[in-house]
Amino acid sequence: MTDRDPTDRDPRLDPAAMRKQYRVEGLEENDLAADPMAQFGRWFEEAALRGLVYEPNAMVVSTADAEGRPSSRTVLMKHYDDQGFVFYTNYDSRKARELGANPYVSLLFPWHPMARQVLVTGTARRTGRDETAAYFRTRPHGSQLGAWASTQSTVIHSRTELESSYADLLARYPEGEQVPVPPHWGGFRVAPRTVEFWQGRENRLHDRLRYTAQPDNTWHLDRLSP
Which residues carry out catalysis? 204
User: What 3 state SS string does 115-138 have?
Assistant: CEEEEEEEEEEECCHHHHHHHHCC
- For residue 53, what are the contacts with CB-CB under 8 A and spacing of at least 6? 47, 111, 112, 113, 114
Considering Cα of 77, then 182, then 148, then 72, what sign does the dihedral take?
Answer: positive
d(CA 111, CA 53) in angstroms, rounded, equals 6
Length of the chain: 226
**Angle at which helices 159-172 and 141-149 pack, to 10 degrees?**
120
d(CA 35, CA 51) in angstroms, rounded, equals 25
d(CA 179, CA 170) in angstroms, rounded, equals 10
Considering Cα of 71, then 81, then 76, then 26, what sign does the dihedral take?
Answer: negative
C-beta separation of 44 from 80 below 8 A: yes
Longest dimension (CA), the chain: 63
